[in-house]
Amino acid sequence: MRAAIVGTGARAQMWAHELRQHGDLVALADTNPARLAAFQRLIAGNRSQPAPAGEAVSGHAAPASWVIAQSADVARMLAAERADVLVVCSPDATHDEHIVAGLDAGAHVITEKPMTTDAAKARRILDAQKRTAGLVTVAFNYRYHPVYAQVKQVLPRIGEISSVHFEWLLDVRHGADYFRRWHRDKAQSGGLLVHKATHHFDLINWWLGTTPEQVSAQGKLFFYGEAGRRHGYDRGYARAHGTAEAVGDPFALSLQDNPAMKALYLDAEEHDGYQRDLNVFAPGVSIEDDLAVLVRYASGATMSYHLTAFSPWEGLRIAFNGSQGRLELDLTESDHVAPGVSGAVKGHSAALHGAEAAAEQGGVSLRLRHFWQPPQDLPVATYEKTGHGGADSRMVAAIFSAASAPTATDGAWALLTGLAANESMRTQRSVRASDLLDLTEWES
């Protein structure tokens, strides 16, 4: 396998490491030449900070570096480097351009979630896959999390599923980070119901073996953005770097204090003007931070879903009601946010991106409740402290083996729940998923 990565931000670091376990990483592409060079140095010997310029990648030939301006550049890179796998880690709104370029070049395309950000782009990807007879895999790593995989195995024990209650809480370390970078712009990310909740919507589709039909949603920007002024959190600065008001602010990100973040973002600003450390309460936020969704599925099951992006703790609570009982999962990633912990908010915390567990305490419980029986606490699958609970390495291994992996159609179904929810918020009406994109054309 000869692989290439487009988009050299934080998530690409995991792929650079994992791809080398399965073949050769032969090329990297980004629109920013300084970030591209810094990433090359960062992955040399799997470092946590950039190596000196010119140092070779330990044990591997250094991947070729390609500065791209358009999708045609991706196609030229794949041809020149004889790459047969393309991993897409660029901003969400650009995924379709790179996926289609990869398909047209004959590559197996693996894309980070969400597959894309709107129905028209999803259609373009599905059409290209059908036209080229190519393969698109969506990196839904949650399916490979040992606890979530266990839920899939246990669910049949409560019979036919009638309803699901799913609450996901992002703490003020992880949740805040979406509001200081490009994700705060809904045109780029689709909002948290597309960028983040696509993970959760895919889990429900996979767990229940069904697809969304009807969606209603309500959402608001309650905590971040200019609402922070109302709650007394905003210190009035635009970005953290070089700003006295940001010193001591638990919501500020210090790029200068972390060599990797400084090299990837602060030192690369001159090329594209991208600022990674915006004040989370500064104007310009167009995504919501408190979201409620109601979904009816083709199976007849319903789900009530709530996403909060400003919680004191991080994790989920989910309950399944079935014809033979109830299954309850409580998973705490971190029970609080400790500002004094190294890398908790300031600096480049791997915990922000799931590369490692948060420093604070966590835990997980899985409880089975059958009718007329005492509740049963099930032994929980081993929850590893690296790479999204060990899911990342399992996912990559599955993708490059004979095991089935999430497809472009899976990516579209998960996307549709979020898109329909966004449309429901816009129109204040219930939305049929098929009215946005009818997937029967590609499922036949």
Q: Are 413 and 115 in contact (CB under 8 A)?
A: no
Q: Which residues, at least 6 apart from 360, have a Cβ–Cβ distance to it below 8 Å?
A: 334, 335, 336, 337, 338, 341
Kindly tell me the burial class for residue 373, based on how many C-beta atoms sit within 10 Å of its own C-beta (0-12, 13-18, 19 or more): exposed
Decide if 168 is inside a domain.
Answer: yes
Q: Tell whether the torsion through CA atoms of 144, 18, 343 and 261 is positive or negative.
A: negative
CA distance 305 to 31: 36
CA angle 287, 288, 293 (to 5 degrees): 125
CA 87 from centre of chain:
14
How is residue 268 written in tokens? Answer: 């690369």
Q: 64 exposed, middle or buried (CB, 10 Å; 0-12, 13-18, 19+)?
A: middle
Residues 165, 220 share a domain: yes
Task: List C-alpha distances in Å: 13 to 5, 19, 56.
Answer: 10, 10, 16
Residues β-bridged to residue 332: 315, 363
In a shared domain, residues 251 and 159: no
Would you say residue 402 lies in a domain? no
The neighbour count for residue 403, using CB atoms within 10 Å, is 11
In a domain, 19, yes or no: yes
SS3 349: coil
Do 212 and 321 share a domain, yes or no? Answer: yes
Note whether residue 259 is domain-resident. yes
| Residue 363 CA from chain centroid, whole number | 22
User: What beta strand segments (E) does 54-128 contain?
Assistant: 64-67, 85-88, 108-112
Please tell me whether residues 179 and 214 are part of one structural domain: yes
Contacts of residue 200, defined as CB under 8 A and 6 or more positions apart, other chains included, come to: 142, 166, 168, 305, 307
Residue 426's domain spans which residues?
142-224+285-395+412-436
* 95 touches 121 (CB < 8 A): yes
In this structure, the answer to whether residues 65 and 196 fall within a common structural domain is no
Domain count, the chain: 3
Q: Are residues 163 and 207 in the same domain?
A: yes
Give, for all 444 residues of the chain, the pLDDT tens digit. Answer: 999 999 999 899 999 999 998 999 999 999 999 999 999 999 986 555 565 554 444 456 789 999 999 989 999 999 999 999 999 999 999 999 999 999 999 999 999 999 999 999 999 999 999 999 999 999 999 999 999 999 999 999 999 999 999 999 999 999 999 999 999 999 999 999 999 999 999 999 999 999 999 999 999 999 999 999 999 999 999 999 999 999 999 999 999 999 999 999 999 999 999 999 999 999 999 999 999 999 999 999 999 999 999 999 999 999 999 999 999 999 999 999 987 543 333 333 444 455 555 667 789 999 999 999 999 999 997 766 555 667 899 999 999 986 789 999 999 999 999 999 999 999 999 999 999 999 998 876
Query: Is 246 found in the same domain as 299?
Result: no
| Cα distances (angstroms) measured from residue 351 to each of 6, 105, 265, 385, 391 | 23, 35, 18, 10, 14
Shared-domain flag, residues 220 and 330: yes
Residue 239: other Cβ atoms inside 10 A: 17
Instruction: Convert 377-399 to b/e letters by CB count within 10 Å (16 or more is b).
Output: eeeebebbeebbbbbbbbbbebb
- Domain membership of residue 301 (yes or no) is yes
Residue 62 belongs to domain with CATH number = 3.40.50.720
| Residues 343 and 381 grouped into a single domain | yes
Question: How far is the C-alpha of 217 from the C-alpha of 295, rounded, in Å?
Answer: 9
51 with 169, same domain: the answer is: no
In a domain, 373, yes or no: yes
d(CA 283, CA 359): 31
Q: Does any domain span residue 401?
A: no
Domain check: are 323 and 367 in the same one? Answer: yes
Q: 189 and 96, same structural domain? A: no
Relative orientation angle of helices 198-208 and 408-427, to the nearest 10 degrees:
120
Q: What are the residue ranges of helices labelled H in 22-94?
A: 33-42, 71-80
Q: Contact 29/36 with Cβ under 8 angstroms? A: yes
> Domain for residue 352, yes or no?
yes
CB count within 10 Å of CB 421 equals 30
Start-to-end CA span in the chain (Å): 31
Could you tell me if 62 and 56 are in contact, meaning their C-beta atoms sit under 8 angstroms apart?
yes
**CATH code: domain of residue 322:** 3.30.360.10
